[in-house]
Amino acid sequence: MKDTTSLDCQLADLIWMMVTALRAGYPVQQVFEQLASDVPEPAASACAQVAADLNGGLPLNQALMNWQQATPSIYLEDMIAVFLAHGKEGGNLPALLEPVGEAVFGAVGSDLTFIPAMQRLAQSVGASLPQRVQPI
């Protein structure tokens, strides 16, 4: 079994929010800015740092590598690998990220702290919530 961090418990929901925002047409930098202002800690600070790095002129791959170095997480490494591969090969980034989010959810689950942020994002872009957080 892999050791998990507090970020790992948020990562599946963070990826879902990234996928949703990217599908809605948000650019990557704006996705990180939005997440930084809307999600709980520790993900908020991590996204704020990536956004600051991007606003400071760092390329996305370097900003993500900085995040990876600051946050030991095997699951985060998997997500960042998708971004890096997308930067080299292109493709549909949301479609590439989605299986990683599902794998993280299967391995770690969710701490459910993202539900309010997920509901706000889903409402603003007309998306549906993942099945695991659908209102009953």
Q: Would you say 7 and 42 are in contact if contact means Cβ atoms under 8 Å apart?
A: yes
Read off the pTM.
Answer: 0.86
**Which domains are delineated in the chain?**
8-128 (1.20.81)
- Whether the bond between 42 and the residue before it is cis, its omega within 30 degrees of 0, is yes
Q: How far is CA 93 from CA 4, 57, 87, 123, in A?
A: 25, 21, 9, 22
Per-residue pLDDT of the chain (136 residues; tens, 9 = 90+): 455 678 899 999 999 999 999 999 999 999 999 999 999 999 999 999 999 999 999 999 999 999 999 987 889 999 999 999 999 999 999 999 999 999 999 999 887 788 788 888 887 777 666 666 555 4
Instruction: Of 101, 90, 74, give the one whose Cα is nearest residue 20.
Output: 101
